[in-house]
């Protein structure tokens, strides 16, 4: 049996934030997930201590996400995320925009890139827009120009106010076709209604990836029975703090009945390829 203990990990989906950033129902959800954050709040909201926590599970790089979703979850600003990640190599801060609330989207994204953002996260179902809406195209243009990945929420969410029609991964068919050099990740792999669609699209488009955060790892092969056939496109993320511990999540991936090389691709190699220089590890 191969020794999987030493595997390097990139977590492509981590939320940070303080209690006051999120609505009470988000705390309630984190509590119900038994998240370590709940019990170790002071420690795990400190950038250095949180980095130690991630490193203890073999995580070498972590994508850190902001959110501007006042209807559904709350507001963790781009500025807060950039400051949290400041000076810490392990963190890859992403930026976000909410097209339902903001104008001048590309100016905002440009500004975040200038300040160190390494990718873009979009929340169509939380913010009520279609990700193939033309108003977003300048954002994809920027992402393509700067070789920054775009992580897009797909599939269900338990948070009230979210509208699932916006989260159909099929909308990303347009984006993937129109921006062939932009790497796009379907967060949560189309959770619920669209596992098959997301899987199919990730095979169809070379630049479209299946990101598996928020899915119980033990069910992964039920959702995607042919996972090995598209193993180069599968990317790990935890969706912390919506999980008890990032460690338990990683262990469950390692225990899947997949080849060691496949597990390495899911946990690390595919993400490293997407992040390019940002993931310089070796």
Smallest distance from the beta carbon of 207 to Zn ion, in angstroms?
A: 21
Residues 6+ apart with CB under 8 A from 282: none
| Residue nearer to Zn ion on the CB measure, 166 or 258 | 166
For tokens 């999540």, the residue is 249
Smallest distance from the beta carbon of 9 to Zn ion, in angstroms?
A: 17
- Calculated CA dihedral for residues 83, 275, 264, 220, nearest 10 degrees: 80
Q: Which secondary-structure segment (H or E) carries 273? A: helix 270-275
Smallest distance from the beta carbon of 280 to Zn ion, in angstroms?
A: 25
User: Among residue numbers 200 through 259, which ones bind Zn ion (CB under 5 A)?
Assistant: 239
228 half-sphere exposure, CB direction, 13 A CA radius: 7
| Residue nearer to Zn ion on the CB measure, 11 or 239 | 239
| Residue nearer to Zn ion on the CB measure, 10 or 258 | 10
Smallest distance from the beta carbon of 276 to Zn ion, in angstroms?
A: 23
Residues 6+ apart with CB under 8 A from 33: 241, 242, 243, 244
Residue nearest to Zn ion (CB): 239
Q: What is the rounded distance in angstroms from the CA atom of residue 3 to the CA atom of residue 10?
A: 18
Smallest distance from the beta carbon of 180 to Zn ion, in angstroms?
A: 26
Q: What is the rounded distance in angstroms from the CA atom of residue 144 to the CA atom of residue 148?
A: 6
User: Among residue numbers 25 through 84, which ones bind Zn ion (CB under 5 A)?
Assistant: none
| Residue nearer to Zn ion on the CB measure, 36 or 239 | 239
Q: What is the rounded distance in angstroms from the CA atom of residue 269 to the CA atom of residue 265?
A: 4
| Residue nearer to Zn ion on the CB measure, 154 or 202 | 154
- In the complex, the residues that contact Zn ion under the rule CB under 5 A are 239
């Amino acid at each position: 049996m191969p020794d999987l203990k030493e595997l390097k990990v990139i977590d492509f989906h981590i939320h940070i934030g303080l209690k006051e950033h999120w609505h009470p129902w988000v705390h309630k959800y984190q509590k119900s997930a038994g998240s370590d954050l709940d019990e170790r709040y002071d420690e795990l909201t400190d950038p250095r201590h949180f980095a130690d926590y991630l490193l203890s599970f073999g995580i070498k790089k972590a994508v850190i996400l902001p959110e501007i979703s006042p209807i559904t979850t709350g507001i963790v600003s781009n500025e807060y995320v950039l400051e949290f990640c400041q000076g810490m190599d392990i963190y890859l801060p992403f930026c976000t925009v909410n097209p339902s609330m903001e104008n001048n989207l590309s100016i905002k994204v440009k500004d975040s890139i200038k300040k160190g953002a390494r990718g873009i996260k979009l929340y169509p179902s939380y913010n009520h827009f279609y990700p193939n809406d033309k108003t977003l195209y300048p954002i994809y243009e920027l992402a393509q120009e700067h070789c920054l990945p775009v992580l897009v929420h797909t599939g269900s969410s338990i948070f009230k106010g979210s509208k699932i029609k916006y989260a159909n991964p099929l909308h990303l068919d347009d984006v993937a076709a129109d921006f062939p050099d932009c790497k796009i990740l379907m967060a949560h792999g189309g959770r619920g209604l669209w596992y098959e669609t997301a899987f199919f699209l990730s095979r169809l488009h070379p630049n479209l990836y299946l990101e598996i955060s928020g899915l119980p790892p033990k069910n992964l092969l039920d959702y995607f029975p042919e996972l090995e056939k598209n193993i180069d496109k599968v990317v790990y993320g935890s969706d912390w703090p919506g999980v008890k511990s990032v460690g338990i999540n990683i262990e469950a991936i390692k225990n899947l009945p997949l080849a060691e090389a496949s597990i390495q691709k899911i946990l690390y190699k595919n993400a490293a390829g997407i992040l390019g220089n940002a993931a310089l590890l070796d």
